[in-house]
Amino acid sequence: MNNSLFRLLVFFLVQVSTLTAMSKETAEIPGADLACVLVAARHFQVEYPRAQLRHFVVQLSSRNKELEIVFVPIPPPGSTYLGGGNESGEEVHYVISRTSHKLIRTTYGR
């Protein structure tokens, strides 16, 4: 695993841990789903190399044998989010196969 993917994995796990601590609930991510998140993150990094993940919320939605991973930019203070993107970046949806861990499709927020 290269250094940037390792940092991304650590970032993701810290975010999950923080959310878990705040809500006092347990968050579990199956290994196959985490593999899908890493595939989506690689695509996101290639498409948007200047995007800083700390300015995004990552949403996961289960769809049978697919996992949708959405990178949603956090609006800067004082601005509103109308969908599609803002100063922090673009909203991007990746659908990844849970069995092959390959990208099925990419869509963008509007």
Confidence tier at 78 by pLDDT (50, 70, 90): confident
Distances (CA, A) of 1 to 9, 57, 74: 10, 23, 28
Question: Residue 83: left if φ>0, alpha if ψ -120 to 50, beta else—which one?
Answer: left
At 92 the pLDDT is: 95
Quick one: pLDDT band at residue 8, thresholds 50, 70, 90? low
- Residue 22 falls within a domain, yes or no? no
Q: What is the pLDDT of residues 17-34, one digit of tens each?
A: 555 555 556 777 888 899
Residue 69 resides in a domain: yes
**Nearest Cα to 94, choosing from 27, 42, 16, 19?**
42
27: three-class secondary structure by DSSP? coil
Has residue 12 been placed in a domain?
Answer: no
- Rounded-to-integer distance, Cα 68 and Cα 109, Å: 13
Collapsing DSSP to helix, strand or coil, 53 comes out as helix
**Which residue segment(s) compose the domain that 62 sits in?**
32-108
**Whether the predicted pLDDT of 37 surpasses 90:** yes
Would residue 6 count as lying in a domain?
no
Please tell me the total count of domains within the chain: 1
